[in-house]
Copies of this chain bind each other. A is one copy, B any other.
Amino acid sequence: MDKEMYCHEKEAPIGVFDSGVGGLTVVREIMKQIPNEQIIYFGDTARVPYGSKSRETIVRYSKEIVHFLQTQGVKAIVIACNTASAFALDEVEREWDIPMIGVVKPGAKAAVRATRNGRIGVIGTEGTIHSKIYSQYMEELQKGIQVLGKACPLFVPLVEEGLLEDPVTDEIAVRYLSELIDRDIDTLILGCTHYPLIATAIGRVMGEKVLLVNPAYETARELKQLLECQGLLRENPPGLGKNRHQFFVSDAAEKFKRIANSILPYGILSANAMNMEQY
Protein backbone atom coordinates (compact mmCIF):
# COMPACT_ATOMS: atom_id res chain seq x y z
CA MET A 1 0.00 0.00 0.00
CA ASP A 2 1.36 3.34 -1.05
CA LYS A 3 1.36 5.49 2.09
CA GLU A 4 1.67 8.67 0.08
CA MET A 5 -1.66 7.98 -1.53
CA TYR A 6 -3.73 8.90 1.51
CA CYS A 7 -3.47 9.88 5.08
CA HIS A 8 -3.51 6.76 7.21
CA GLU A 9 -4.21 8.44 10.52
CA LYS A 10 -7.23 8.33 12.79
CA GLU A 11 -7.11 12.10 13.16
CA ALA A 12 -7.42 12.76 9.43
CA PRO A 13 -10.78 13.98 8.07
CA ILE A 14 -13.27 12.05 5.94
CA GLY A 15 -13.86 13.39 2.43
CA VAL A 16 -17.47 13.42 1.22
CA PHE A 17 -18.60 14.62 -2.20
CA ASP A 18 -21.76 15.12 -4.20
CA SER A 19 -22.93 17.06 -7.24
CA GLY A 20 -24.43 19.70 -4.95
CA VAL A 21 -26.31 19.86 -1.66
CA GLY A 22 -27.98 16.44 -1.73
CA GLY A 23 -24.97 14.66 -0.22
CA LEU A 24 -25.53 16.63 2.96
CA THR A 25 -28.21 14.08 3.90
CA VAL A 26 -25.31 11.60 4.02
CA VAL A 27 -23.21 14.05 6.04
CA ARG A 28 -26.11 14.40 8.47
CA GLU A 29 -26.15 10.61 9.02
CA ILE A 30 -22.35 10.47 9.44
CA MET A 31 -22.55 13.25 12.03
CA LYS A 32 -25.18 11.26 13.93
CA GLN A 33 -23.55 7.85 13.75
CA ILE A 34 -19.85 8.73 14.13
CA PRO A 35 -19.95 12.16 15.75
CA ASN A 36 -16.22 12.34 16.52
CA GLU A 37 -15.25 12.54 12.88
CA GLN A 38 -14.23 15.64 10.99
CA ILE A 39 -15.73 16.01 7.49
CA ILE A 40 -14.48 17.78 4.40
CA TYR A 41 -17.39 18.15 1.99
CA PHE A 42 -17.23 19.07 -1.66
CA GLY A 43 -20.39 20.01 -3.60
CA ASP A 44 -19.91 20.41 -7.36
CA THR A 45 -22.45 23.22 -7.63
CA ALA A 46 -20.90 24.63 -10.83
CA ARG A 47 -21.72 21.43 -12.68
CA VAL A 48 -24.83 20.19 -10.84
CA PRO A 49 -26.93 18.19 -11.67
CA TYR A 50 -25.10 14.94 -12.41
CA GLY A 51 -28.31 12.94 -12.86
CA SER A 52 -28.86 13.80 -16.51
CA LYS A 53 -25.20 13.60 -17.62
CA SER A 54 -23.28 10.77 -19.25
CA ARG A 55 -21.00 8.21 -17.63
CA GLU A 56 -17.82 9.65 -19.20
CA THR A 57 -18.56 13.13 -17.89
CA ILE A 58 -19.37 11.92 -14.38
CA VAL A 59 -16.21 9.79 -14.23
CA ARG A 60 -14.09 12.78 -15.28
CA TYR A 61 -15.71 15.07 -12.69
CA SER A 62 -15.39 12.45 -9.93
CA LYS A 63 -11.68 11.97 -10.60
CA GLU A 64 -11.08 15.70 -10.35
CA ILE A 65 -12.89 15.82 -7.01
CA VAL A 66 -11.11 12.78 -5.55
CA HIS A 67 -7.84 14.45 -6.52
CA PHE A 68 -8.91 17.62 -4.73
CA LEU A 69 -9.99 15.74 -1.57
CA GLN A 70 -6.66 13.95 -1.51
CA THR A 71 -4.86 17.28 -1.40
CA GLN A 72 -6.87 17.89 1.79
CA GLY A 73 -5.33 14.83 3.45
CA VAL A 74 -8.47 12.72 3.90
CA LYS A 75 -8.32 9.17 5.31
CA ALA A 76 -11.40 7.88 3.42
CA ILE A 77 -13.82 9.08 0.76
CA VAL A 78 -17.60 8.79 0.59
CA ILE A 79 -19.21 9.29 -2.83
CA ALA A 80 -22.45 10.74 -1.48
CA CYS A 81 -24.13 10.90 -4.87
CA ASN A 82 -26.02 8.03 -6.44
CA THR A 83 -25.14 8.95 -10.01
CA ALA A 84 -21.42 9.24 -9.25
CA SER A 85 -21.52 6.04 -7.17
CA ALA A 86 -23.20 4.27 -10.08
CA PHE A 87 -20.88 5.55 -12.79
CA ALA A 88 -17.54 6.29 -11.14
CA LEU A 89 -16.94 4.30 -7.92
CA ASP A 90 -15.39 1.23 -9.56
CA GLU A 91 -13.13 3.24 -11.82
CA VAL A 92 -11.98 5.63 -9.11
CA GLU A 93 -11.35 2.73 -6.71
CA ARG A 94 -9.07 1.11 -9.27
CA GLU A 95 -6.97 4.25 -9.60
CA TRP A 96 -6.68 5.36 -5.98
CA ASP A 97 -5.51 3.39 -3.01
CA ILE A 98 -7.79 4.95 -0.42
CA PRO A 99 -10.78 3.46 1.43
CA MET A 100 -13.83 4.54 -0.51
CA ILE A 101 -17.54 3.84 -0.41
CA GLY A 102 -20.51 4.95 -2.44
CA VAL A 103 -24.17 5.09 -1.50
CA VAL A 104 -25.45 2.45 -3.93
CA LYS A 105 -24.07 -0.77 -2.44
CA PRO A 106 -25.09 -0.04 1.19
CA GLY A 107 -28.61 0.88 0.04
CA ALA A 108 -28.89 -2.18 -2.19
CA LYS A 109 -27.73 -4.53 0.57
CA ALA A 110 -30.23 -3.12 3.05
CA ALA A 111 -33.08 -3.50 0.55
CA VAL A 112 -32.24 -7.13 -0.22
CA ARG A 113 -32.13 -7.88 3.51
CA ALA A 114 -35.47 -6.14 4.06
CA THR A 115 -37.70 -7.42 1.24
CA ARG A 116 -40.11 -10.27 1.97
CA ASN A 117 -41.71 -10.74 -1.44
CA GLY A 118 -38.54 -10.18 -3.47
CA ARG A 119 -39.95 -7.14 -5.28
CA ILE A 120 -37.93 -3.95 -4.77
CA GLY A 121 -38.48 -0.51 -6.25
CA VAL A 122 -35.72 2.05 -6.86
CA ILE A 123 -36.34 5.72 -7.55
CA GLY A 124 -33.60 8.13 -8.62
CA THR A 125 -32.33 10.46 -11.32
CA GLU A 126 -32.32 9.44 -14.99
CA GLY A 127 -28.58 8.66 -14.75
CA THR A 128 -28.93 6.33 -11.78
CA ILE A 129 -31.99 4.52 -13.10
CA HIS A 130 -30.74 4.07 -16.66
CA SER A 131 -27.40 2.79 -15.37
CA LYS A 132 -29.31 -0.14 -13.79
CA ILE A 133 -26.60 -0.21 -11.12
CA TYR A 134 -29.02 -0.99 -8.29
CA SER A 135 -30.64 -3.89 -10.15
CA GLN A 136 -27.31 -5.36 -11.20
CA TYR A 137 -25.93 -5.25 -7.71
CA MET A 138 -29.07 -6.63 -6.07
CA GLU A 139 -29.26 -9.48 -8.60
CA GLU A 140 -25.68 -10.37 -7.73
CA LEU A 141 -26.61 -10.41 -4.04
CA GLN A 142 -29.73 -12.51 -4.53
CA LYS A 143 -30.65 -14.33 -7.72
CA GLY A 144 -34.23 -13.94 -8.89
CA ILE A 145 -34.89 -10.70 -7.11
CA GLN A 146 -37.20 -8.37 -9.05
CA VAL A 147 -36.10 -4.75 -9.28
CA LEU A 148 -38.33 -1.99 -10.70
CA GLY A 149 -36.62 1.32 -11.40
CA LYS A 150 -38.34 4.66 -11.94
CA ALA A 151 -36.64 7.98 -12.74
CA CYS A 152 -38.21 10.98 -10.96
CA PRO A 153 -36.54 14.05 -12.52
CA LEU A 154 -38.81 16.62 -10.85
CA PHE A 155 -38.11 15.57 -7.26
CA VAL A 156 -34.72 17.35 -7.03
CA PRO A 157 -35.99 20.74 -8.27
CA LEU A 158 -39.06 20.43 -6.01
CA VAL A 159 -36.81 19.78 -2.99
CA GLU A 160 -34.48 22.63 -3.94
CA GLU A 161 -37.51 24.93 -4.25
CA GLY A 162 -38.37 23.96 -0.67
CA LEU A 163 -41.70 22.24 -1.51
CA LEU A 164 -41.10 19.42 1.00
CA GLU A 165 -44.69 19.37 2.31
CA ASP A 166 -46.79 20.56 -0.59
CA PRO A 167 -49.73 19.31 -2.65
CA VAL A 168 -47.71 19.76 -5.87
CA THR A 169 -44.99 17.42 -4.58
CA ASP A 170 -47.69 14.97 -3.51
CA GLU A 171 -49.31 15.09 -6.97
CA ILE A 172 -45.98 14.52 -8.75
CA ALA A 173 -45.17 11.70 -6.30
CA VAL A 174 -48.48 10.00 -7.13
CA ARG A 175 -47.70 10.17 -10.86
CA TYR A 176 -44.17 8.81 -10.52
CA LEU A 177 -44.93 6.13 -7.95
CA SER A 178 -48.28 4.68 -9.06
CA GLU A 179 -46.70 2.14 -11.37
CA LEU A 180 -44.48 0.90 -8.53
CA ILE A 181 -47.53 0.42 -6.31
CA ASP A 182 -49.29 -1.45 -9.13
CA ARG A 183 -46.30 -3.77 -9.41
CA ASP A 184 -46.63 -4.75 -5.76
CA ILE A 185 -43.18 -3.84 -4.42
CA ASP A 186 -42.68 -4.12 -0.64
CA THR A 187 -39.41 -2.15 -0.39
CA LEU A 188 -38.44 1.15 -2.02
CA ILE A 189 -34.88 2.52 -2.23
CA LEU A 190 -34.64 6.33 -2.12
CA GLY A 191 -31.89 6.25 -4.74
CA CYS A 192 -31.08 9.98 -4.79
CA THR A 193 -29.62 11.89 -1.86
CA HIS A 194 -32.30 14.58 -2.09
CA TYR A 195 -35.17 12.15 -1.63
CA PRO A 196 -34.91 11.55 2.14
CA LEU A 197 -36.01 15.20 2.45
CA ILE A 198 -39.40 14.25 0.95
CA ALA A 199 -39.57 10.79 2.53
CA THR A 200 -42.80 11.77 4.30
CA ALA A 201 -44.56 12.58 1.01
CA ILE A 202 -43.17 9.44 -0.64
CA GLY A 203 -44.22 7.31 2.34
CA ARG A 204 -47.74 8.76 2.21
CA VAL A 205 -48.12 7.74 -1.44
CA MET A 206 -46.54 4.29 -1.05
CA GLY A 207 -48.52 3.40 2.07
CA GLU A 208 -47.40 1.79 5.32
CA LYS A 209 -46.74 -1.64 3.89
CA VAL A 210 -43.82 -0.45 1.77
CA LEU A 211 -40.51 -0.04 3.60
CA LEU A 212 -38.45 2.97 2.52
CA VAL A 213 -34.68 2.38 2.46
CA ASN A 214 -32.52 5.47 2.96
CA PRO A 215 -29.05 4.73 1.54
CA ALA A 216 -27.61 7.70 3.47
CA TYR A 217 -28.30 5.91 6.75
CA GLU A 218 -26.88 2.61 5.48
CA THR A 219 -23.80 4.33 4.06
CA ALA A 220 -22.94 5.98 7.37
CA ARG A 221 -23.27 2.56 9.04
CA GLU A 222 -20.94 0.92 6.54
CA LEU A 223 -18.49 3.80 6.78
CA LYS A 224 -18.29 3.26 10.53
CA GLN A 225 -17.57 -0.46 10.05
CA LEU A 226 -14.97 0.26 7.36
CA LEU A 227 -13.12 2.73 9.58
CA GLU A 228 -13.28 0.34 12.54
CA CYS A 229 -11.85 -2.54 10.50
CA GLN A 230 -8.98 -0.42 9.30
CA GLY A 231 -8.27 1.07 12.72
CA LEU A 232 -9.15 4.52 11.40
CA LEU A 233 -12.10 5.42 13.62
CA ARG A 234 -11.42 8.61 15.52
CA GLU A 235 -11.69 8.23 19.28
CA ASN A 236 -12.12 11.82 20.45
CA PRO A 237 -13.66 14.85 18.79
CA PRO A 238 -11.05 17.23 17.34
CA GLY A 239 -12.02 19.88 19.88
CA LEU A 240 -12.81 22.51 17.31
CA GLY A 241 -16.48 22.84 18.24
CA LYS A 242 -19.30 22.67 15.72
CA ASN A 243 -17.36 24.36 12.98
CA ARG A 244 -14.70 21.73 12.61
CA HIS A 245 -16.25 20.51 9.36
CA GLN A 246 -15.25 22.19 6.12
CA PHE A 247 -17.44 22.80 3.09
CA PHE A 248 -16.19 23.49 -0.43
CA VAL A 249 -18.28 24.18 -3.51
CA SER A 250 -17.41 24.88 -7.13
CA ASP A 251 -19.94 27.74 -7.35
CA ALA A 252 -22.63 29.82 -5.62
CA ALA A 253 -21.36 29.36 -2.06
CA GLU A 254 -24.06 31.56 -0.51
CA LYS A 255 -26.94 29.60 -1.95
CA PHE A 256 -25.25 26.37 -0.84
CA LYS A 257 -24.92 27.70 2.69
CA ARG A 258 -28.61 28.58 2.81
CA ILE A 259 -29.79 25.11 1.74
CA ALA A 260 -27.10 23.39 3.86
CA ASN A 261 -28.38 25.15 6.92
CA SER A 262 -31.83 23.70 6.38
CA ILE A 263 -30.46 20.13 6.09
CA LEU A 264 -27.73 19.92 8.71
CA PRO A 265 -28.45 19.81 12.45
CA TYR A 266 -26.67 23.14 13.01
CA GLY A 267 -25.65 26.08 10.86
CA ILE A 268 -22.46 26.09 8.84
CA LEU A 269 -20.43 29.26 8.99
CA SER A 270 -18.89 29.30 5.57
CA ALA A 271 -18.59 27.48 2.28
CA ASN A 272 -15.46 28.08 0.21
CA ALA A 273 -15.89 28.56 -3.52
CA MET A 274 -13.24 27.10 -5.80
CA ASN A 275 -12.51 26.42 -9.48
CA MET A 276 -12.30 22.70 -10.26
CA GLU A 277 -10.59 23.08 -13.60
CA GLN A 278 -7.18 22.98 -11.95
CA TYR A 279 -7.75 19.44 -10.61
Q: Does A177 contact B (CB under 8 A)?
A: no
Which residues from B are CB-within-8-Å of A277? Answer: 277
The smallest beta-carbon distance between A67 and chain B, in angstroms, is 15
* Copies assembled: 2
Please count how many residues in chain A sit with their CB below 8 Å of the partner chain's CB atoms: 26
A58-95 vs B, Cβ < 8 Å mask (1 yes, 0 no): 00000000000000000000000000000000000000
B168 touches A161 (CB 8 A): no
Which residues from B are CB-within-8-Å of A167? Answer: 171
A11-53 residues with Cβ-Cβ distance < 8 A to B are 45-48, 52-53
Bound-state CA distance A45–B56 (Å) is 13
- The listed residue (B53, B153, B160, B273) touching A161 by CB distance below 8 A is B153
Q: Does A54 contact B (CB under 8 A)?
A: yes
Bound-state CA distance A153–B167 (Å) is 17
Which residues from B are CB-within-8-Å of A160? Answer: 153
Q: Does A154 contact B (CB under 8 A)?
A: yes
Q: Does A183 contact B (CB under 8 A)?
A: no
Bound-state CA distance A167–B250 (Å) is 36
- Closest chain B residue to A171, Cβ basis: B168
Bound-state CA distance A171–B166 (Å) is 12
The smallest beta-carbon distance between A232 and chain B, in angstroms, is 34
A232-253 residues with Cβ-Cβ distance < 8 A to B are 250-252
Bound-state CA distance A153–B255 (Å) is 13
Bound-state CA distance A158–B53 (Å) is 18
Q: Does A136 contact B (CB under 8 A)?
A: no
Q: Does A157 contact B (CB under 8 A)?
A: yes
Interface centre among A157, A160, A167, A172 (most CB of B within 10 A): A157
Q: Does A57 contact B (CB under 8 A)?
A: yes
Bound-state CA distance A135–B246 (Å) is 38
A250-277 vs B, Cβ < 8 Å mask (1 yes, 0 no): 1110010000000000000000010001
Q: List 8 A-B contacts (CB under 8 A).
A: A46-B57, A47-B47, A52-B252, A54-B251, A57-B250, A153-B161, A154-B154, A154-B158
